[in-house]
Amino acid sequence: MIALLVRDLRLALRTGSGLGLGVAFFLIFVIFVPFSIGSQSDLLRAVAPGLLWLAALLSCLLSLERILSIDWEDGSLELLATAPLPLEAVALIKAFTHWLTTGLPLIACTPIVGVLLNLEPQGFLWLIASLGLGTPALSVIGVFGAALVLGVKRGGLLLSLLVLPLYIPTLIYGAEVARRGSQDLNVMTPLLLLSGISIGVISLLPFASAAVLRANLR
Amino acid sequence: MPLSVRDLTVSRGGAIILQGVNFTLASGDALIVRGRNGIGKTSLLRTICGLQPAWAGEISGCEDRIAFAGHADGVKLTLTVHENLTFWSQIFGCRRTQFALEAFGLENLRNRLAGTLSAGQRKRVALARLLLTERSIWVLDEPTGNLDQDTVKTLLSIIKTHKRGGGSLLVATHDQLEWEAETLQLDAFRPKKTEIFPIFASGAK
């Protein structure tokens, strides 16, 4: 499993685009928000948690299609399916690699972009915590979506249509944790729900992804 | 335990393309699968490897013993030859990367990016992967495509060594290989009338 993780990280670093695309989109999106909705700091402060979550979600979506399609096209997915590594592990590792190359850099950028949107100082911690808890679920759901559209030429639109509804609970509770955190309210309920969604998705969806991969490899 | 295929029915895209395929492959045996384009050579090999379900029939003795090399080589173009092979050696828990490099004459290409290799050289990398699987049944789909005469000879000598070590081999090819092996001519297994079933038909297994 570690071999697959190392290989995929190396591939992401070598090709570059996979790693930089999500973060670049996230930064561009957030930097342009004050230009489009004006510089009223109160307004920006109010929408910052939700907007940052939305930007993170859309950034994750951008690189989803490539997670499995490259391995499918060059035949390595087929070879992995005949290797001793179970496809469930392959799905989980793919999601983890996606999170390391997309979710983690986004979280690292959050303190900088939070300042641009005038986020309340007490909100930073909860925003980072909510992204830390929620983005792994986005990656795991994304791998499931990518497995579903495997082999579909230019399946990006279909992938978005399939994945976005599944992202909604994570977005609602993730943004709610960040919003309540920035307003000094009690975050426990949305935080527990967000954690529950993430744990459920991470423990169950790799099995579904593997089943879909098996069906699509036929 | 020999690989045994009994009354196998193979389908592609919901249509039955081969019916009643029977053969046994004992250790040290080789079987060459022949037939015209589209007859179902690749589908048969994929079914035996477990990549697609058999429509009917039984395949036994292949659990975790098959190493497959298909049309797509699975070589990552942005990794070096050595990195590509090391990855597969780690996946299969084998430490013979150096041996595999030397066997296919890839030693002087080890640090070259696979994207800068010729098609034939890349095929050699893909075949070198077989040595790293340490599996006894090699299932090869058109292994000699893009290979020059010398490399074909190298491949044949590696195959002989594999067979001497108790390994067996199932090869689909159009080329005349200079070595003796039984042939499975797939024309004999074509269904008399092509039946097309919807993919989600209840009879599909």
pLDDT of residue A213: 93
Q: What is the DSSP string of A101-162?
A: IIIHHHHHHHHHHHHHTT--TTHHHHHHHHHHHHHHHHHHHHHHHHHHTTT-TTTHHHHHHH
pLDDT at residue B205 greater than cutoff 50 = no
Instruction: Return the residue in A7, A77, A214 with the most chain B beta carbons within 10 A, the one to mutate for interface testing.
Output: A7
List chain A residues with CB under 8 Å of B71. 75
d(CA B53, CA A53): 42
DSSP string, B75-122: --TTSBHHHHHHHHHHHTT---HHHHHHHTT-GGGTTSBGGGS-HHHH
Share of chain B above pLDDT 70, in %: 93
A217 contacts B66? CB cut-off 8 A: no
pLDDT in tens, B134-160: 888 999 998 887 788 888 888 888 988
Alpha carbon distance B159, A6 (integer Å)? 31
Contact A80, A87 (CB under 8 A): yes
**What's the mean per-residue pLDDT of chain B?**
85
Mean pLDDT of the region B114-119: 90
Using only C-alpha atoms, chain A has a radius of gyration, in whole angstroms, of: 18
Comparing CA positions, the residue from A205, A79, A148, A153 lying closest to residue B51 is A79
Distance of CA A187 to the CA centre of its chain: 22
Calpha distance A147→A209 (Å, rounded): 6
pLDDT of residue A208: 97
Percent of chain B exceeding pLDDT 90 equals 15
SS3 content of chain B, % helix, strand, coil (to 5): 35, 25, 40
Cα separation, B41 vs A19, whole angstroms: 40
Q: What is the mean pLDDT of residues B175-189?
A: 79
Residue B202 scores a pLDDT above 70: no
Is A4 in CB contact (< 8 Å) with chain B? yes
Provide block-wise average pLDDT over 10 residues at a time, chain A (218 residues). Answer: 86 75 90 87 88 93 87 90 91 94 92 87 91 95 94 86 94 94 91 96 96 90
Option in A4, A80, A82 nearest B66 (CB)? A82
Residue A77's contacts (CB-CB under 8 Å, 6 or more residues apart) are A68, A71, A90, A150, A213, A217
Of A74, A80, A81, the CB nearest to B76: A74
- CB within 8 A of A40, min separation 6: which ones? none
For residue B149, what are the β-bridge partners? none
Q: How many CA atoms lie within 13 A of B196 on its CB side?
A: 1
B133 CB neighbours in chain A (<8 A) are 83
Give residue A108's pLDDT.
Answer: 93
- The encoded tokens of residue A7 equal 């290989």
- Pick from A15, A75, A218: CB nearest B78: A15
Q: Which residues of B are less than 8 Å from A87 in CB distance?
A: none
Q: What is the pLDDT of residue B197?
A: 60
In this predicted structure, the answer to whether residue B190 has a pLDDT above a threshold of 90 is no
Query: Tens digits of per-residue pLDDT, B101-113?
Result: 988 888 899 899 9
Please check whether residue A79 touches B, CB under 8 A: yes
**Mean pLDDT value across residues B34-59:** 89
Other residues' Cβ atoms within 10 Å of the Cβ of residue A198: 21
pLDDT reading at B204 higher than 80:
no
Binary contact (A85, B66; C-beta < 8 A)? no
A197-202 long-range Cβ contacts below 8 angstroms, 24+ apart = A197/A134, A197/A137, A197/A169, A197/A170, A197/A173, A198/A133, A198/A134, A198/A136, A198/A137, A198/A170, A201/A137, A201/A140, A201/A141, A201/A170, A202/A92, A202/A95, A202/A136, A202/A137, A202/A140
- B190: number of Cβ within 10 Å: 15
Q: Which residues in chain B have their CB less than 8 angstroms from residue A151's CB?
A: none
Interface pTM, i.e. ipTM: 0.84
Note the pTM of the prediction, 2 decimals: 0.88
Q: What pLDDT does residue B203 have?
A: 44
Query: For residue B139, how many C-alpha atoms fall within 13 Å in the half-sphere facing its CB?
Result: 23
End-to-end CA distance of chain A: 24
Q: Does B49 touch chain A (CB under 8 A)?
A: yes
Cβ pair A3:B90 closer than 8 A:
yes
B68 touches chain A (CB under 8 A): yes
pLDDT score for A89: 94
